Amino acid sequence: MTIHHAVPPAAGAAAAACPQGGATGSDSITAWRCRLLYSAGFPDTLAHLLAATPGVDIHALLNLVDRGCPPELAVRILGPFTDDREQE
């Protein structure tokens, strides 16, 4: 079984999808969360959105994915999660 949340910040494709730039503080945490989600198979847009949303339990999402749950279903299971931009 792969333990995604134990993996240190990655380089390569995940880093390209979730760039850090000159990020510090909470920005670097968001970038790290994004890279974890992206490397676990979450689509780029969803990884960015979840990583930047306070209160999203990244470890619970990764645990579900580790057990074979598709990323989109993991989000629905741990919901409710709504994108406020859709409601505007």
Break the chain into its structural domains and give their ranges: 24-81
- Averaged over 14-23, what is the pLDDT? 54
Question: What's the pLDDT at 53?
Answer: 92
How does pLDDT run across 29-82, given as a tens digit for each residue? Answer: 999 999 999 999 999 999 999 999 999 999 999 999 999 999 999 999 998 765
Question: What's the pLDDT at 26?
Answer: 72
On whether the pTM is more than 0.75, the answer is: no
Cβ neighbours for 33, distance < 8 A, ≥ 6 positions apart: 50, 51, 58
Question: What's the pLDDT at 32?
Answer: 95
Question: What's the pLDDT at 61?
Answer: 97
CA neighbor of 38 nearest in space, from 76, 65, 57, 56: 65
Query: Quick check: 19 pLDDT over 60?
Result: no
Cβ atoms of 34 and 28 within 8 Å: the answer is no
CA neighbor of 52 nearest in space, from 35, 36, 73, 33: 33
